């Protein structure tokens, strides 16, 4: 076999393997909840078997061997010779992790050898000790409550190691992927339906294209036909775009799955039993987000379990159910994807925040701050009210990273907390950033695009309606309404002067912090369907710009983003 | 260089069975002119050379940052190399002024130059990097100098240095 | 008598006859007057007779009146008043007529007035009252009338009707009654029985009532009859009461039977019938009886007559009439004697008058006729003299016309001469024109050649333009080189990009690098080539420009020369055309002269013909004048009574006639005759002979001259 071919096979295998390992992880966790479900075990077995087979065939022997060991364990489970107690499940999960690690290592380097000793040992322990299972079974049962105490030191080490590893592993899991997103290709599972619709649309486009070619042979005669065909083409192209975009959309389920593991592990390690409730798994989200958000969500959850959720006694005292609940809810609204992470813990203590902030000198003692403001301080770098630094969290570097990540996706994050009741984090990300409807307008001679969803209304007014409050502030009156007028170019930092036609002035009415404001622009060109393109990394720091749009004449116009401009607008108003 | 000499060179190089050596000692550069001085970019870092394109201005950027263009569906940032190197900006000359699209690991930037002259292959030993130059360009950009046939020099520039993130740092609104 | 003294003949004649007529008229008048008076007298006689007659008639009328009146008084019949009335009217008429007749005699008129007055008095005082009285008696109703009226049995009619109506009414009610009784018997229902019983009673009552009404009507009749007999008012009581009862009861009954409309109607009819009787019969009778009560009788009449008032009046009347008649008769006698006298006078007047007028008229007519004859002779003589003069004049005329012809002929010949010399001149002029035309043609040729030359020049100009076009093309090429430049530039870029790609491709791109290099070289070469082309273009353009300029100059020069030549030839052409024009003018002038000559010619011709005409006219004139003389002679003969007597005169006249005849047949051509003046002097006129002893000797010489002339010609 040519090296080329083998490489491809290997690559394909590794990708498939990763997917399978995701599923097996889920299954393992299901097994934990439903120990008696044979179905799950069967499914896991099937997956493991296929992995083994493929691994061996492409030459990943180590992988194959490990999988084989796992298989044997699974056989025992299948036969009912061992019960899926906590230890077993942990082992299974650890093996899964290891396999994962191996896979990603192999992706880097086909020859990579991973240290499988720890896990192998564990498996062996189980296999050996299954005879002793009956002896341990009783005690095993109680493991589920307090996993920590039952573990041997080595195991504790293991766990701690694992927990050490976990974040790093997780990070590793993330990082390779991040890197991959840059130089290696990503793979997505696609529904056949989506592909089919895409192909159909493409087919139609081809037909229309050739019809257009034909008609263009005699443009004057076929004028009508040409326009019709063009409009049809436009529609098809739109559909195609949607279909293509849809290809990138994956259900948020995968995100949930990723976080599930984290939750489990964290709750186990911290000894706080947690029940996960998910909603909106089918909500579709761009694949990119899944990857980006997983770390964010993980961190938030870890934080929640660590700081937010009380220990068992406290919960009992507060008459809360023993098992803490973490709810994950994903849904779409107004062009945004929203993910709520809610816990029923003790909530965020704003007083503590205040104290901490004061001690850090972040606040002015003369001013009074709202709860919202105080809560938002948790996103500040280095801020953590954690009494101690746990492995999991408390380093205080987490939340600000979370915020910056979310912001980098042009989204935002909101925290609502009620003392004693719980805390809810809401991550909001714009959907389909790639295509949207926008208003093209000119400002200081340059063209810009603002998404229609951001705009309340386009308002034409005359100079008479302007009243100057002071040298910086002016308002326009519309009947009873008073709207603050903003010199938009200042918010954007444009040094040029706007082209002012005193007869007719136009402003874009937007809502900022529930207040209506009018952004004064030169003129409105019209509404266009915008394909947003990323700007180079060098322009990542641009305020208020979410990307570039290529207009009909081939030229570029900047696409503005109000949420990041809010401060500037407020300052310019 | 004309076709024959080039062909000869290629032939001579072909006989060499150490292709990697070739790649080490002999490097190709894209030579262009700025203000009657010639400079060179490593050809490997060049994506493309294009003529005039309408540039959309961008706010909040330094003066050397001319704006952005649409290049086959991709948005590329454009920098006026003259201004970046501290020279005065010049009017666009049709059929002369070009944009060199450079691509480094980090960024894809287009640089406006007066003219693009040629592709020059240079052996490493011909490049001198210790020359004293009476130029007011930031030394860190220059990787080396070489003589051309007709008694002039070519300054080779480093794209990574020239178009690093720091160099291109967009001024924040606080200023 | 001389001409001057005489008044017109007409006047004389008329005045003579007028005188006679006046006489006659006078006689006539006299006669008429006499006759008139006679008739007048007769009239008067008649008139008197008539008056008398009329008076008698008046008397008669009055008599009639009396008779009539008496008759009426006796009989009381209006027919007897007819003669009276007639007499009365006749009488008034007669009186008026008579009055007018004797209007000339106021005494008689007065008398008649008196007569009238008497009669009028009689009428008013006697006859009228008597008639009145008689009338009263006559009109007055008597018991006979009553009996008559009653006998008419008009009342019976009504009453029968009335009775039948009431009877019918009662009949109906009886029928109803029986019906109800029957019902009552047949029905077992108590209510019906009761109802029917009521109805039966009701009907009985109704019948009784009806009978009561009938009775009241009868009462009325009885009452009436009683009154008629007695004539006393109290007898009308039962009538009146009966009437009241009738009315009230009837109305009551109508109400009672209001449920049965036909019955109601029947009652109304009965009521109507009775009222009719009442008004038509009863009332009439009552009033008749009443009037009888106080009517006058014949006894009264007799008393009145006995007064004999009428007689006095009548006696007076008679006397007057007689007097009147007598007066009239007297008048008549007087008038008759007057008539006789008048008759005698008129007869004598007539006789005398006739005699006188006859004498006067005889005398007058004698005088007149002699006067007339004298005048006529004188006139004739004068005429003859004039005729002779005329003759001479006509001779003169013919002479003159002959002369005129001669002149015309001369004129014509001189015209001929002029005409031929004109022809010569015309020929010369034509020559000139021809020459001028030739020279013009020459200059035209020159022009044409010049035009050709000019064309050749312009062709050069054209080629210049074409060269210009070539320059444009070259410039276009230049423009295209611009495009090539652009292409070169793009190619250059392309080569760079190719190099870049080649570099990226690394090992695999080496071959491509060569290609890129080559493309670059190609670009360079193209660039060079383009530049060279540009250079060449530049060169060619400037060279072409030069050539064009040179050509242009040459053309300009040539054009100038051509223009000069053209100008000169223009001048020549102009001159020759001037010459042409002048000759034309000449020609025109000549032809005008020709026309003038023509005109003269024709005038001459005309003159000749006029002369001819004149000659012939004079001939005619001659003829006429001799005719005239002849007629005069004839007239003379008539007047003097000698037809063909005076020999001298007659012979001369004849002679003149003959000579005139021979000349008139010939026609002559006008010829130049020098002797015309001579002829004139020899004109003579035939002498004119006197008619009756007048002194006209002056004519003799003339006569003789004329004679001679005629012969010569």
ipTM over 0.85: no
Number of neighbours of residue C544 by Cβ within 10 angstroms? 18
Looking at the fold, whether A444 and A415 belong to one and the same domain comes out as no
Question: Residue A325 is encoded by which pair of tokens?
Answer: 């609940």
The CA distance from A442 to A555, in Å, is 13
Question: Of A399, A303, A388, A392, whose CA–CA distance to A342 is shortest?
Answer: A303
Burial class, C302, CB count within 10 angstroms (exposed 0-12 / middle 13-18 / buried 19+)? exposed
Question: Which chain B residues are Cβ-neighbours of C484 within 8 angstroms?
Answer: none
**Does the CB of B70 have a partner CB in chain A at under 8 Å?**
yes
Asked if A274 contacts A324 with a C-beta cutoff of 8 angstroms, the reply is yes
Length of chain B: 175
Q: C227 in a domain, yes or no?
A: yes
Question: Residue C351 is encoded by which pair of tokens?
Answer: 């006789």
Q: C543 in a domain, yes or no?
A: yes
Q: C257 in a domain, yes or no?
A: yes
More confident residue, A80 or C303: A80
Q: C621 in a domain, yes or no?
A: no
**How many residue pairs bridge chain B and chain C with CB atoms within 8 Å of each other?**
54
The CA distance from C266 to C264, in Å, is 5
A420 has pLDDT over 50: yes
Neighbours of chain A (3+ CB pairs under 8 A): B
Structural domain boundaries in chain B: 26-162
Task: Give the pLDDT confidence of A20-30 residue by residue, as tens digits.
Answer: 888 888 888 88
Determine which of A20-24, C374-378, C608-612, C696-700 has the lowest per-residue pLDDT on average: C696-700
pLDDT at A204: 85
CATH number of C529's domain:
1.10.287.950
- For chain A positions 443-472, those within 8 Å of chain B (CB to CB) are 446-447
Mean pLDDT of A298-317: 83
Q: Do A538 and B56 touch (CB under 8 A)?
A: no
**Does the CB of B166 have a partner CB in chain A at under 8 Å?**
no
Of A142, A163, A183, the position where a domain reaches its end is A183
Question: Which chain B residues are Cβ-neighbours of C514 within 8 angstroms?
Answer: 6-7, 10
Question: Which chain B residues are Cβ-neighbours of C506 within 8 angstroms?
Answer: 23
Q: How far is A495 from chain B (nearest CA, A)?
A: 7
More confident residue, A322 or C299: A322
Question: In this complex, which of B2, B49, B95 lies closest to C497 when CB atoms are compared?
Answer: B49
Q: C704 in a domain, yes or no?
A: no
**Does the CB of B94 have a partner CB in chain A at under 8 Å?**
no
Looking at the fold, whether A493 and A506 belong to one and the same domain comes out as yes
The full 3-state SS of chain B, as one line of letters, equals: CCHHHHHHHHHHHHHCCCHHHHHHHEEEEEEEEECCEEEEEEHHHEEEEECCCCCECCCCCCCCEEEEEEECCEEEEEEEHHHHCCCCCCCCCCCCCEEEEEECCCCEEEEEECEEEEEEEEEHHHCECCCCCCCCCCHHHEEEEEECCCCCEEEEECHHHHCCCCCCCCCCCCC
Question: In this complex, which of C497, C507, C518 lies closest to B48 when CB atoms are compared?
Answer: C497
Give the 3-state secondary structure of residue A146: coil
Determine which of A127-136, B166-175, C518-527, C697-706 has the lowest per-residue pLDDT on average: C697-706
Asked if C280 contacts C75 with a C-beta cutoff of 8 angstroms, the reply is no
Looking at the fold, whether C121 and C172 belong to one and the same domain comes out as no
Looking at the fold, whether A262 and A407 belong to one and the same domain comes out as yes
Looking at the fold, whether C461 and C345 belong to one and the same domain comes out as no
C600 has pLDDT over 70: yes
Looking at the fold, whether C496 and C599 belong to one and the same domain comes out as yes
Question: Residue B27 is encoded by which pair of tokens?
Answer: 């490097």
CA distance readout (Å), A21 to A18, A66, A106, A257, A365: 5, 13, 14, 11, 53
Question: In this complex, which of C496, C507, C521 lies closest to B49 when CB atoms are compared?
Answer: C496
Looking at the fold, whether C537 and C414 belong to one and the same domain comes out as yes
pLDDT at C678: 42
Asked if C94 contacts C357 with a C-beta cutoff of 8 angstroms, the reply is no
Q: How far is CA C606 from the centre of its chain?
A: 57
CATH number of C31's domain:
1.20.120
C307 has pLDDT over 80: no
Question: Which chain C residues are Cβ-neighbours of B7 within 8 angstroms?
Answer: 514
**Does the CB of B75 have a partner CB in chain A at under 8 Å?**
yes
Of C241, C266, C295, the position where a domain reaches its end is C295
pLDDT at A432: 57
Residue C316 lies in domain: 9-141+308-366
Looking at the fold, whether A20 and A133 belong to one and the same domain comes out as yes
C646 has pLDDT over 50: no
Mean pLDDT of A91-118: 84
More confident residue, A141 or C204: C204
Contacts for A62 with CB less than 8 Å, ≥ 6 apart: A102, A113, A114, A116
Query: Left, alpha or beta for A335 (phi > 0: left; psi -120 to 50: alpha)?
Result: left
Of A225, A250, A275, the position where a domain reaches its end is A250
Could you tell me the pLDDT band of residue C339, with boundaries at 50, 70 and 90? low
CATH number of A477's domain:
2.30.30.40
pLDDT, averaged across chain C: 75
CATH number of A16's domain:
1.20.120.160
Neighbours of chain C (3+ CB pairs under 8 A): B
Looking at the fold, whether A104 and A130 belong to one and the same domain comes out as yes
Task: Give the pLDDT confidence of A444-486 residue by residue, as tens digits.
Answer: 888 999 888 788 888 888 877 788 877 777 888 877 888 888 8
Number of domains in chain C: 3
Q: C73 in a domain, yes or no?
A: yes
Looking at the fold, whether A129 and A225 belong to one and the same domain comes out as no
Looking at the fold, whether C436 and C552 belong to one and the same domain comes out as yes
Q: Which of B4, B15, B21, B49 should one mutate to test binding to chain C, selecting the residue with the greatest count of C CBs within 10 A? A: B49
The CA distance from C444 to C438, in Å, is 10
Looking at the fold, whether A373 and A285 belong to one and the same domain comes out as yes
Q: Do A556 and B68 touch (CB under 8 A)?
A: yes
Asked if A429 contacts A406 with a C-beta cutoff of 8 angstroms, the reply is yes
Q: Which of B11, B15, B17, B46 should one mutate to test binding to chain C, selecting the residue with the greatest count of C CBs within 10 A? A: B46
Looking at the fold, whether A482 and A541 belong to one and the same domain comes out as yes
Task: Give the pLDDT confidence of C410-436 residue by residue, as tens digits.
Answer: 887 888 888 888 888 888 878 877 877
Q: How far is A555 from chain B (nearest CA, A)?
A: 6
Could you tell me the pLDDT band of residue A355, with boundaries at 50, 70 and 90? confident
Of A183, A209, A224, the position where a domain reaches its end is A183
Mean pLDDT of A546-550: 82
Residue A478 lies in domain: 435-572
C550 has pLDDT over 80: yes
Number of domains in chain A: 4
Q: How far is C482 from chain B (nearest CA, A)?
A: 10
CA distance readout (Å), A526 to A523, A550, C474, C666: 9, 14, 48, 129
pLDDT at B111: 93
Looking at the fold, whether C130 and C152 belong to one and the same domain comes out as no
Question: Of B59, B54, B68, B56, whose CA–CA distance to B170 is shortest?
Answer: B59
Looking at the fold, whether A70 and A125 belong to one and the same domain comes out as yes
Asked if A463 contacts A476 with a C-beta cutoff of 8 angstroms, the reply is no
Asked if B68 contacts A551 with a C-beta cutoff of 8 angstroms, the reply is no
Looking at the fold, whether C226 and C329 belong to one and the same domain comes out as no
Q: How far is A426 from chain B (nearest CA, A)?
A: 28
Task: Give the pLDDT confidence of C233-292 residue by residue, as tens digits.
Answer: 887 888 888 888 888 888 888 888 887 888 888 888 888 888 888 888 888 888 888 877
Looking at the fold, whether A13 and A123 belong to one and the same domain comes out as yes
Q: C377 in a domain, yes or no?
A: no
Question: Residue C447 is encoded by which pair of tokens?
Answer: 């022009």
Asked if A77 contacts A39 with a C-beta cutoff of 8 angstroms, the reply is no
Of C581, C609, C637, the position where a domain reaches its end is C609
- In the numeric block, the tokens 């896991």 are attached to A44
Q: How far is A433 from chain B (nearest CA, A)?
A: 16
Question: Residue A505 is encoded by which pair of tokens?
Answer: 């002035």
Burial class, A279, CB count within 10 angstroms (exposed 0-12 / middle 13-18 / buried 19+)? middle
**What homologous superfamily does CATH list for B26-162?**
CheA-289, Domain 4 (2.40.50.180)
Q: C656 in a domain, yes or no?
A: no
Give the 3-state secondary structure of residue A305: helix
- In the numeric block, the tokens 């990579």 are attached to A112
pLDDT at C4: 42
Task: Identify the sign of the CA torsion A497, A499, A503, A509.
Answer: negative
The CA distance from B98 to B48, in Å, is 10
- In the numeric block, the tokens 């001189």 are attached to C414
pLDDT at B159: 85
pLDDT at C675: 45
Looking at the fold, whether A490 and A383 belong to one and the same domain comes out as no
C230 has pLDDT over 60: yes
CA angle A92, A58, A22 (to 5 degrees): 30
Looking at the fold, whether A74 and A149 belong to one and the same domain comes out as yes
CA angle C139, C144, C149 (to 5 degrees): 90
Looking at the fold, whether C26 and C118 belong to one and the same domain comes out as yes
Length of chain A: 573
Task: Give the pLDDT confidence of A209-254 residue by residue, as tens digits.
Answer: 888 888 888 888 888 888 888 888 888 887 787 777 777 777 788 8
Could you tell me the pLDDT band of residue B80, with boundaries at 50, 70 and 90? very high
Question: Residue A207 is encoded by which pair of tokens?
Answer: 């037909």
The CA distance from C155 to C578, in Å, is 149
The CA distance from C338 to C336, in Å, is 5
pLDDT at B68: 92
């Amino acid at each position: 076999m040519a090296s080329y071919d083998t490489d491809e096979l290997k690559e394909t295998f590794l990708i498939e393997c990763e997917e399978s390992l995701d599923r097996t992880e889920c299954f393992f966790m299901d097994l934990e909840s439903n120990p008696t479900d044979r179905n799950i075990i069967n499914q896991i077995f099937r997956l493991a078997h296929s992995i083994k087979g493929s691994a061996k065939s492409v030459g990943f022997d180590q992988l194959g061997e490990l999988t084989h060991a796992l298989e044997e364990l699974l056989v025992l489970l299948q036969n009912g010779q061992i019960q899926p107690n906590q230890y077993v499940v942990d082992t299974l999960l650890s093996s899964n992790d290891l396999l994962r690690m191996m896979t990603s290592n192999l992706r880097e380097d086909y020859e990579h050898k991973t240290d499988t000793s720890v896990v192998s040992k564990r498996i062996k322990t189980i296999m050996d000790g299954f005879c002793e299972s009956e002896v341990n079974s009783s005690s095993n049962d109680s493991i589920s409550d307090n996993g920590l105490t039952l573990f041997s030191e080595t195991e504790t080490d293991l766990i701690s190691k694992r927990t050490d590893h976990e974040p790093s592993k997780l990070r590793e899991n993330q990082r390779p992927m991040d890197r991959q997103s840059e130089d290696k290709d990503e793979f997505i599972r696609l529904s056949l339906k989506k592909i089919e619709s895409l192909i159909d649309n493409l087919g139609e486009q081809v037909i229309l294209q050739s019809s257009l070619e034909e008609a263009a042979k005699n443009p004057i005669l076929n004028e009508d036909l040409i326009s019709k065909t063009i409009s049809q083409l436009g529609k098809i192209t739109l559909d195609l775009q949607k279909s293509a975009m849809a290809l990138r959309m994956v259900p948020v389920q995968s995100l949930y799955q990723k976080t599930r593991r984290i939750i489990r592990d964290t709750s186990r390690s911290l000894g706080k039993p947690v029940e996960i409730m998910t909603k909106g798994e089918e909500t579709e989200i761009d694949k990119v987000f899944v990857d980006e958000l997983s770390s964010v969500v993980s961190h938030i959850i870890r934080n929640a379990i660590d700081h937010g959720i009380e220990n068992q006694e406290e919960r009992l005292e507060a008459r809360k159910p023993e098992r803490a609940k973490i709810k994950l809810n994903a849904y779409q609204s107004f062009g945004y994807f929203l993910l709520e992470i809610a816990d029923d813990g003790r909530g965020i203590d704003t007083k503590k925040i205040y104290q901490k902030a004061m001690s850090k000198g972040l606040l002015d003692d003369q001013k009074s701050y709202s709860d919202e403001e105080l809560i938002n301080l948790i996103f500040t770098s280095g801020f953590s009210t954690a009494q101690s630094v746990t492995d999991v969290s408390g380093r205080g570097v987490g939340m600000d990273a979370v915020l910056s990540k979310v912001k980098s996706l042009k989204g935002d994050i909101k925290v609502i907390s009620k003392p004693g009741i719980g805390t809810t984090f809401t991550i909001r990300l714009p959907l389909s950033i790639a295509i949207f409807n926008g208003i093209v307008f000119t400002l200081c001679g340059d063209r810009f695009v603002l998404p229609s969803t951001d705009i309340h209304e386009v308002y034409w007014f005359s100079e008479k309606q302007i009243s100057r409050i002071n040298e910086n502030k002016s308002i326009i009156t519309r009947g009873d309404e008073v709207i603050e007028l903003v010199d938009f170019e200042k918010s954007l930092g444009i040094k040029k002067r706007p082209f002012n036609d005193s007869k007719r002035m136009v402003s874009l009415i937007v809502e900022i912090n529930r207040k209506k404001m009018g952004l004064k622009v030169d003129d409105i060109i019209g509404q266009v369907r915008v394909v947003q393109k990323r700007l180079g990394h060098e322009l990542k720091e641009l305020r208020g710009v979410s990307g570039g749009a290529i207009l009909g004449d081939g030229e570029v116009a900047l696409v503005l983003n109000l949420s990041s401009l809010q401060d500037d607008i407020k300052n310019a108003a | 260089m004309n076709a024959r000499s080039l062909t000869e060179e290629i032939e001579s190089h072909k006989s060499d069975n150490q292709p990697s050596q070739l790649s080490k000692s002999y490097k190709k550069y894209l030579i262009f002119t700025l203000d009657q001085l010639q400079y060179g970019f490593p050809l490997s870092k060049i994506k493309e050379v294009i003529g005039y394109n309408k540039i959309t201005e961008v706010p909040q950027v330094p003066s050397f940052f001319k704006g952005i263009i649409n290049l086959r569906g991709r948005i590329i940032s454009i920098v006026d190399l003259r201004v970046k190197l501290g020279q005065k900006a010049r009017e666009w000359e049709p059929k002369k002024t070009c944009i060199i699209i450079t691509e480094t690991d980090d960024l894809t930037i287009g640089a406006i130059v007066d003219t693009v002259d040629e592709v020059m292959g240079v052996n490493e030993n011909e490049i001198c990097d210790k020359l004293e130059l009476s130029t007011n360009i930031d030394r860190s950009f220059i990787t080396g100098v070489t003589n051309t046939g007709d008694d002039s020099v070519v300054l080779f520039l480093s794209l990574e240095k020239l178009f690093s993130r720091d160099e291109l740092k967009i001024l924040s609104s606080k200023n | 008598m001389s001409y001057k003294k005489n008044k017109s003949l007409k006047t004389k004649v008329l005045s003579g006859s007028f005188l006679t007529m006046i006489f006659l008229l006078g006689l006539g008048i006299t006669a008429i007057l006499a006759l008139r008076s006679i008739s007048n007298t007769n009239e008067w006689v008649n008139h008197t007779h008539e008056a008398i007659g009329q008076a008698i008639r008046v008397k008669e009328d009055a008599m009639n009146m009396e008779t009539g009146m008496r008759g009426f008084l006796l009989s009381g019949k209006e027919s007897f008043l007819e003669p009276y009335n007639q007499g009365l009217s006749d009488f008034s008429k007669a009186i008026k007529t008579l009055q007018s007749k004797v209007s000339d005699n106021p005494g008689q008129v007065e008398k008649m007035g008196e007569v009238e007055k008497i009669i009028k008095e009689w009428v008013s005082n006697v006859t009228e009252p008597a008639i009145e009285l008689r009338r009263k008696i006559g009109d007055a109703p008597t018991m006979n009338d009553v009996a008559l009226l009653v006998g008419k049995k008009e009342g019976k009619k009504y009453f029968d009707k009335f009775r039948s109506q009431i009877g019918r009414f009662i009949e109906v009610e009886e029928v109803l009654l029986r019906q109800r009784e029957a019902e009552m018997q047949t029905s077992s229902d108590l209510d019906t029985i009761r109802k029917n019983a009521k109805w039966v009673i009701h009907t009985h009552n109704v019948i009784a009532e009806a009978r009561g009404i009938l009775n009241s009507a009868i009462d009325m009749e009885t009452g009436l009859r009683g009154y008629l007999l007695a004539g006393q008012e109290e007898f009308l009581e039962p009538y009146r009461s009966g009437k009241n009862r009738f009315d009230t009861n009837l109305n009551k009954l109508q109400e009672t039977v209001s449920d049965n409309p036909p019955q109601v109607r029947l009652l109304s009819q009965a009521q109507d019938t009775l009222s009719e009787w009442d008004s038509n019969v009863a009332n009439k009778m009552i009033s008749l009886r009443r009037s009888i009560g106080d009517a006058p009788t014949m006894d009264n009449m007799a008393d009145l007559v006995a007064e004999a008032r009428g007689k006095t009046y009548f006696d007076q009347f008679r006397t007057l009439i007689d007097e009147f008649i007598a007066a009239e008769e007297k008048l008549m006698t007087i008038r008759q004697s007057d008539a006789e006298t008048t008759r005698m006078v008129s007869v004598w007047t007539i006789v005398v008058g006739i005699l006188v007028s006859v004498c006067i008229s005889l005398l007058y007519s004698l005088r007149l006729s002699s006067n007339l004859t004298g005048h006529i002779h004188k006139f004739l003589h004068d005429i003859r003299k004039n005729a002779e003069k005329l003759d001479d004049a006509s001779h003169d005329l013919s002479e003159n016309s002959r002369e005129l012809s001669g002149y015309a002929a001369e004129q014509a010949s001189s015209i001929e001469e002029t005409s031929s010399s004109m022809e010569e001149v015309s020929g010369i002029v034509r020559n000139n024109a021809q020459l001028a035309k030739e020279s013009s043609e020459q200059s035209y040729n020159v022009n044409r050649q010049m035009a050709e030359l000019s064309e050749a020049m312009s062709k050069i100009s054209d080629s210049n333009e074409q060269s210009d076009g070539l320059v444009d093309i070259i410039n276009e090429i230049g423009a295209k080189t611009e495009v090539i430049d652009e292409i070169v530039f793009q190619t250059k870029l392309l080569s760079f990009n190719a190099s870049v790609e080649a570099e990226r491709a690394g090992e695999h791109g080496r071959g491509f690098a060569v290609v890129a290099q080559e493309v670059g070289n190609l670009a360079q070469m193209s660039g060079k080539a383009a530049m060279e082309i540009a250079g060449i273009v530049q060169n060619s353009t400037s060279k072409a420009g030069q050539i064009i300029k040179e050509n242009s100059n040459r053309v300009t020069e040539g054009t100038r020369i051509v223009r000069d030549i053209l100008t000169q030839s223009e001048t020549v052409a102009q001159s020759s055309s001037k010459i042409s024009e002048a000759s034309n003018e000449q020609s025109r002038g000549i032809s005008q002269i020709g026309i003038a000559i023509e005109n003269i010619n024709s005038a001459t011709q005309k003159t000749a013909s006029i002369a001819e005409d004149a000659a012939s006219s004079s001939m005619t004139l001659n003829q006429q004048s001799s005719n005239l003389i002849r007629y005069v002679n004839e007239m003379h003969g008539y007047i003097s009574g000698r037809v063909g007597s005076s020999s001298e005169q007659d012979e001369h006249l004849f002679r003149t006639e003959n000579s005139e005849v021979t000349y008139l047949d010939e026609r002559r051509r006008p010829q130049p005759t020098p002797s015309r003046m001579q002829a004139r002097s020899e004109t003579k006129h035939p002498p004119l002979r006197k008619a009756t002893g007048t002194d006209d000797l002056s004519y003799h010489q003339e006569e003789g001259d004329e004679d001679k002339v005629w012969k010569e010609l």
